[in-house]
Structure 1
Amino acid sequence: MARKLENKTIDYKSNLNWSSETELVGLVFEFVTLADVSIYPQYTIGLHAWFLDQVRSYDPELSAYLHDGESEKPFTISALDGELVSSGRQVQLCANNSYYWYVTVLSSRVSQWMEKWVQNLPKELNLRNASLQIRSCNIAHDPTTYAQLLNSEHGETVTLKFLSPTSFRRKGHHFPLPMPTNVFHSYLRRWNDFSGMSVDQEAFLAWVDDNVLIIRHQLTSMKVLAGKKGAVTGFTGTIEFGLTKEASKQPDFCKLFYALGKLAPYCGTGHKTTFGLGQTRLGWSSQAAPEVPDVQSLLAKRIEELTDIFKAQRKRTGGDRAEEIASKWATILARREMGESLQLVAQDLEMPYETVKTYVKLARRALKPG
């Protein structure tokens, strides 16, 4: 729940220093709005764009890499944490309530940029016409390195909380279950890309499949918006992983297992972690994850419904291209049905306006009987 603000000024630049050796760090921003404001359901696209624009203003080359790089993304962002309510076709933020936003980085290059950036933060973040004042900025996940994660102390099990809907890609479909191989594959991809201590993926995942046990779990699933296009079924909740007795025969993999668990809060879990999905923390919690505002759930369901229709119509062509077009048509049409202008949709999706206009016409035509 949101917390009411006190009438005081917070120095958001205090205690925001870390060494040049740092590879991983997480920040939490506190926002406040001076009046009730409404934001569009897929506002995490705007948060994503704002962050990249901040990088671009300081380091255009780094921004291009974060935007277009073919490797794993070396950052994550969360959705807003606070009192979010549906208001017609939009999501409302209440005046004088606090809203929290988490940003993590996973490489020394981005960490060094962020350390400079936080010394001169802007006063506000704009989501289209909604102004969010930056009230404070603090360290949420301690500055560290991959080597420190690997060599730090650990317990007998790895317990993870999935705070925002989490999903994986499996055989071309979304897979909303935290199976050990999916979870640790997700972390290993980031580890191999950024740690400088690459591990044989096939061998490690075979070991995970044979030796990592689910001790207990408490999970629920929901449909959510997925970044720039489409919707996914994701899960939230808590899970505890343990190891078999035979696991100790490969001590290096045991050590990596615990290190990857500690990496989870920094890198998130699954896909679309740069658009708010897969936010992960350590420890067990029986507390339910924050509910997704109804307008976001309705839009996610409509996008999925339209995607299924368009995919079925394009069944003959098949392939990834057909699926991608179906998803784009569905996203554009559903957002237009929610009252968004095609100009803003085109801007969000980084597509030419004329292309978006053509796609919405084709999508509407495809829905007509006969």
Structure 2
Amino acid sequence: MLMAVVLTLISPTDAVLPGFLGRANYAATLKRLNLVDPDLVQRIHDGDGPKPLTCSSLLEARHTRQTRLEAGQPVHVRVTGLTPAVSAALSAALLDSPPKTWELDGHLFHVQETTCNPERHPWGGCNTYEALAEAQLSRQAPPDRQVTLEFASPTAFKSKGMTVPIPMPGLVFGSLVERWNSFSPMVLNPEMRRYGEEVMAISRYRLASRPVEHKNRSLRVGGLGQVTYVALAGDRYWLGVMHMLADFAFYSGVGAQTAIGMGQARRTR
């Protein structure tokens, strides 16, 4: 089960907060999940490799050093679950029994609404790995050779000991296939990373670099914007996987530090 829950938050006062609140939202999410399943929270905290959830910064963030809030102004954060256990815990903690308040960096918001209904907010949704696969791999029409991704928060990758702030095809689809194979009951060919490196190219892009402040005031730069990828070759299977992973990005995020707000992404049509 894949789930994306959006929380509508209302600040009771004017406030100035840090420009990036992904880590604060991660802390608030684990605190809430701890009321439902403490063992799950401990496994998430201690686990190596990709985390089975993502937590956004404010979806309205302009990715500047500070975020200014007005009293009564609605803002939104988002949490996604990539496994049945995490999605079930998110449903119990946020949808079945919505919190009344949500704390980010010491500032207490009122929670106006929680939803996973995309008709209520375009960043909400529910799906399954099986449905994503069936939608692309069993379709009769030939798949399009192009796909466009929106990177809605700074996106970066770890590669050969370096941080790469540009969403190159091999890095993007390698990251997505790694997450898919970490959490899905259906395993994909890991050669998708090599397919992205050798067969896919960027045909259009509109990107800006944005720094994200982490612990100890260290900065990590990521790319923000839209990129259109094109497959220069490939049969129906590889093109179907390309589109399926592009849909999966909505839930999984892309690249490094997705649990604390980086790499929020979605396909655009």
Alignment TM class, shorter chain as reference: 0.7 to 0.9
CA 41–271 in structure 1, closer or farther in 2 if over 3 Å, else same: same
**Letter paired with 1:253:** W
SS in structure 1 of the partner of residue 85 of structure 2: helix
- Contact 2:102–2:109, Cα closer than 8 Å, also in 1: yes
Structure whose alpha-carbon radius of gyration is higher: 1
Partner residue in 2 for 1:9: none
The correspondence of residues 29-178 of structure 1 with structure 2, limited to 5 A, is 29-40=7-18, 43-82=21-60, 91-117=67-93, 118-139=95-116, 140-153=123-136, 156=144, 157-178=146-167
**1:231 partnered with 2:219:** yes
Q: TM (normalized to structure 1)?
A: 0.64
Deviations 1:160-200 (A, max 9, x none): 01111111111211101111100001111110011122234
* Unaligned stretches of 5+ residues in structure 1: 1-22, 285-370
* Distance in 2 between residues matched to 1:210 and 1:129, nearest whole Å: 47
- Contact 1:83–1:93, Cα closer than 8 Å, also in 2: no
**1:276 partnered with 2:264:** no
* Distance in 2 between residues matched to 1:274 and 1:228, nearest whole Å: 18
Partner residue in 1 for 2:198: 210
Partner residue in 2 for 1:191: 180
How far 1:210 moved relative to its partner?
Answer: 2.4
* Unaligned stretches of 5+ residues in structure 2: 117-122
Structure 1: 4+ residue segments shifted above 4 A: 83-86
Q: Which structure features the higher share of strand residues?
A: 2
**Letter paired with 1:105:** G
CA 190–219 in structure 1, closer or farther in 2 if over 3 Å, else same: same
Partner residue in 2 for 1:263: 248
Deviations 1:296-322 (A, max 9, x none): xxxxxxxxxxxxxxxxxxxxxxxxxxx
SS in structure 2 of the partner of residue 165 of structure 1: strand
Q: TM (normalized to structure 2)?
A: 0.87
* Distance in 1 between residues matched to 2:60 and 2:125, nearest whole Å: 23
**Letter paired with 1:174:** T
Q: CA RMSD in A?
A: 2.2
Identical amino acids, percent of aligned pairs = 28
SS in structure 1 of the partner of residue 68 of structure 2: strand
Q: How many equivalent pairs are there?
A: 256
